[in-house]
Amino acid sequence: MIARMSNTLKKYSTMTTITEAKKLAAHRAVDLHVNSGNLVGIGSGSTVVYAIERLAERVEKEKLQVKCVPTSFQARQLIIKHKLPLTDLDINPELDVCIDGADEVDSNLNLIKGGGGCLLQEKIVASCSKKLIIVADYSKNSQKLGDQYKKGIPVEVSPMAYVPIQNRIQKLHGGTVDLRMAVLKAGPVVTDNGNFILDWKEYNQNVDWNKINSELLSIPGVVETGLFINMASKAYFGMTDGSVKVQE
């Protein structure tokens, strides 16, 4: 009995934590996809924190020459904190690579992004990059969108149109559409761009996501969606056993 418990504890002690998995994926992506002279889009979220840390290490040790374009206020502050060169799309409208996280990645490399509220700027920077590289932990890897991520597909909308858009999405595609509310502030979440976010939940998973994305974008007042379809080049997932799974 004691021996069995000891083996069980040993097994769990060797499992990679979520934090370690994020770091593994972020480091691998930065090491393989960022070269000296690159213009780099820097995404948002908890996994990207480790990507920025690794990039700063390489800049210091290898004297890497890079310039970084942030996708959010958070990303901008992290770039400044780590003393990485900061630029923007006005100066550098074409980027070599964008390193970003995701809330969920399906078997076709379709993404749900925007859990942190930065989907518009994330999609703009990704669209200006030659390749979008996703970094995440094992919990973000799914067969179908919605298998694991249950907080819904984010849709950034003009504040004056959020009720008509709610009704339109539910009428056309079913499910429920909720206005995302702030946690430490009264009222709704307001994005860096001054918009609201709707979270579309309980949707049909067996659909053509490219078609659904186009239909959502055609609704007046929808600014952008958290569906990133046919945009990612490759995804790196830190796994429980300490390995890194690559999907492309």
Tens-place pLDDT, residues 151-205: 999 999 999 999 999 999 999 999 999 999 999 889 999 999 999 999 999 999 9
Average pLDDT across the chain, whole number: 94
Split at pLDDT 50, 70, 90, the class of 15 is low
> Catalytic pick from 104, 122, 156, 224?
122
Residues with Cβ within 8 Å of 115's Cβ and at least 6 positions away in sequence, in order, are 45, 103, 149, 151, 154, 226
At 16, the pLDDT band (50, 70, 90 cuts) reads confident
Please give the domain boundaries of the chain with CATH numbers for all domains: 2-143+229-238 (3.40.50.1360), 153-223 (3.30.70.260)
**Torsion over CA of 65, 69, 72 and 74, rounded to 10 degrees?**
10
Amino acid, res. 195: N
pLDDT at 145 over 90: yes
Q: Residue 33 above 90 pLDDT? A: yes
Annotation says 122 is catalytic: yes
Which tokens sit at 75? 């990303």
Whole-number percent of the chain with pLDDT over 70: 94
Residues 6+ away with beta carbon under 8 Å from 155: 165, 169, 177, 197, 198, 199, 200, 216, 222, 224, 225, 226
**Per-residue pLDDT, 8:** 44
For the cut 80, the answer to whether the pLDDT of residue 3 exceeds it is no
Is pLDDT of 93 > 80?
yes
pTM value?
0.91
pLDDT at 65 over 70: yes
State the pLDDT at residue 2. Answer: 53
Region 79-106 average pLDDT = 98
**Reported confidence tier of residue 121, pLDDT bands at 50, 70, 90:** very high
